[in-house]
Amino acid sequence: MYVRVKSSPNSPRKSVQIVHSYREGNKVRQKIIKHIGVANSDEELEELKLYATKIKLELEQQNSLPIYSPSEIASIVDRICNNIKDNKINKKSSNNKDKIKKEEESIDNIQEYKRYSVNLLDLVEIDREIKGIHDIYGKLYDELGFNRVLLNPSRNKKSVEILKDITLARVANADSKRATRDYLEDNFGVKLNLESIYKMMDKLDDKAIKRLQDIVFNQTKSLFNDKIDILYFDATTIYFESFNEDNLREKGFSKDGKHKEVQIVLALMVTKQGLPIGYKIFKGSTYDGHTIIPTLKELKRDFNVDKVICVADSGMLSKANLKELEEFNSIKDNNSNNFNISYIVGARVKNMNKDIIKEILDLTSYQEYNSDIKYKEIKLEDNKRLILTYSKKRAKKDRLDRQKAIDKLRLKLSKDSSLKSNLSNSRYRKFITIKDSNSTNSNKCNLKVSINEDKIKEDEKFDGIKGVITNDISLTIKDIIEQYSNLWIIEESFRINKHDLKIRPIFHFKESRIKAHIAICFMAYTLIRHLEYRVKLQYKKLSPQKIKKLLLSVQVSILKDTKSNRVFLFPSNYDNEVKKIYKIMEVPILNRAIIIKE
């Protein structure tokens, strides 16, 4: 069994397949075991080949091959159906009574017809359930190994089932645990009591969460030839509907604007595809920039990764952080190798020394990167590299954004120029001057705010300029620019967690329940990203929101025949994209009514 790349001379697209070779007489033949997808670029081709390798290894470990390929199964089904039709025709014309009798016994048309015969006027819908979420995400849940997260799953079958239902419900419609219980019963036919949900959460302890982190890291790593060399890092705040502080929940700077509520800080690491690598929780008062070094150390310690390039924004790596990271890299691990962690981090170009700023602003020395972007490299001390880019589009956006802020500031000052009302918004601060407007000799201080035109002119000089710093001397400038430009993926990841999965606010107050809640959200996020990745590889790019909408549309009506009391399961109509997702996940699709109660 091997991975085959097939191309046609008149098309740049390449198909990736898993093929099994076998001998038939003196000839060697090939049978397609699984069609993985079609690549439109070299990058897509590499990802498809890696994914195909993962599937091939899984098939080899199972020590079994599919007897028939999907196309062969479809052909066999068609052939059987055609044979049945031919038998019905032959039955009418044949004089052979023995043959007629045998065909009647095999097909048994009349009894089958009577069994399924129903008067549509006698049918009533007694319930309707969503099927797509459990069909697709449920299978992925088991494939990823989430059914092994809790300790002794065979002894804790009920809690294992509840964890799965709660996680899938969060994917479908994130809400509080009480509302989730009701949602599961109303839409999935799953009945749970609140006490059993909390009991399950108590079993999702530190050891279970460590197993979860191991599973997620290894599953993501398996998609990239067991190597993760680039990760994207950021941290955010998660607030509680509470004002009481404890060992974990503390007040701090809130990115959600909830400055009165207590919070925790969540650090997240993902690949450039948004696939999760891991996460870490910090106390609510922790500064974002103080989360990256402990998280990287833990990643290196727990997973023994080789070289890693960490990509983060300018708030993550301060001078103190960079110094600590350099010291960390000089430490030897158990195999006497240095910890090899390099970084690409946003540079605060306006805060650099005057000589460097003079070089930064000299746009004539920039080289052309593409029709919009120019670039420049400046060597810094300790072998660090400052990579600068200038974009005409970004310069235009910077001007518009600043003008909007100034216009709002002018309007605000026309109504109230007091200090307190104008210092609250950080967008305004860099454009204002504070002075004492009191002209008398009174000791009373009357501070007022006004616009500083010199600050505006100074800010204009940096329009369109962006810089990144790296300590990696092996990367090309193109690699550095591209890697940093993908930083939006971590921002999207937090958006999914905050808005789609509603990771906050948190209503739990026990530390163990808080950690369990974050773990459940992380499991749901992993399911969302892994399915999105598979669909993109094997079909096309569909957003997590689109996939969820498609799967929520896969429903079954539960119909009752009021005359016979038989109960039927009747599937909804399926979108073509739904059928594609089911095919990718190799889940059979229900396409006809079935009796569930005689």
- Residue where the block lists tokens 């799965």: 164
Residue 295 one-letter amino acid: T
Residues 161-197: tens digit of each pLDDT: 999 999 999 999 999 999 999 999 999 999 999 999 9
Q: Which residues, at least 6 apart from 207, have a Cβ–Cβ distance to it below 8 Å?
A: 151
Burial class for 82, CB neighbours closer than 10 Å (0-12, 13-18, 19+): exposed
Q: Which residues, at least 6 apart from 38, have a Cβ–Cβ distance to it below 8 Å?
A: 13, 14, 15, 16
CB atoms within 10 A of CB 480: 22
CB 87 within 8 A of CB 102: no
Alpha carbon distances (Å) from 99 to 86, 87, 93, 110, 347: 13, 10, 11, 17, 85
Query: What single DSSP character describes residue 282?
Result: E
* Greatest Cα pair distance in the chain: 125
Q: Is the pLDDT of residue 87 over 60?
A: no
**Whose CA is closest to 46, among 109, 101, 3, 2?**
3
Q: Which residues, at least 6 apart from 315, have a Cβ–Cβ distance to it below 8 Å?
A: 288, 289, 346
CB atoms within 10 A of CB 539: 15
β partners of residue 30? 21
**Whose CA is closest to 435, among 422, 421, 423, 448?**
448
More confident residue, 325 or 86: 325
Q: Which residues, at least 6 apart from 582, have a Cβ–Cβ distance to it below 8 Å?
A: 135, 136, 588, 589
Q: Is the pLDDT of residue 425 over 60?
A: no
Radius of gyration of the chain from Cα atoms? 31
Q: Is the pLDDT of residue 242 over 70?
A: yes
Q: How far apart are alpha carbons 474 and 488 in whole angstroms?
A: 24
pLDDT at 349: 93
Q: What totals of helices (H) and strands (E) does the chain contain, helices first?
A: 22, 18
Q: Please state whether the peptide bond connecting residue 70 to the residue before it is cis, i.e. omega within 30 degrees of 0.
A: no
Q: Is the pLDDT of residue 535 over 90?
A: yes
Span 564-574, average pLDDT: 91
**DSSP H or E run through 374:** strand 373-379
Q: How far apart are alpha carbons 384 and 378 in whole angstroms?
A: 9
**Whose CA is closest to 308, among 222, 369, 228?**
228
More confident residue, 410 or 109: 410
Q: Which residues, at least 6 apart from 76, have a Cβ–Cβ distance to it below 8 Å?
A: 68
Q: How far apart are alpha carbons 434 and 437 in whole angstroms?
A: 9
**DSSP H or E run through 388:** strand 385-391
Residues 318-359: tens digit of each pLDDT: 777 777 777 777 766 555 456 678 899 999 999 999 999 999
**DSSP H or E run through 86:** helix 70-93
pLDDT at 418: 61
pLDDT at 244: 81
Q: Is the pLDDT of residue 40 over 60?
A: yes
pLDDT at 26: 83
- Average pLDDT of the chain is 85
Strand order across the beta sheet in which 123-130 lies: 123-130, 555-561, 567-571, 594-597
pLDDT band of 256, cuts 50, 70, 90: confident
Span 47-60, average pLDDT: 86
pLDDT at 201: 97
Residues 474-507: tens digit of each pLDDT: 999 999 999 999 999 999 999 999 999 999 889 8
CB 356 within 8 A of CB 386: yes
Span 542-547, average pLDDT: 96
Residue 421 one-letter amino acid: S
| Of 24-28, 301-305, 306-310, 510-514, the least confident | 301-305
pLDDT band of 74, cuts 50, 70, 90: low
For CA atoms 424, 427, 433, 439, the dihedral sign is negative
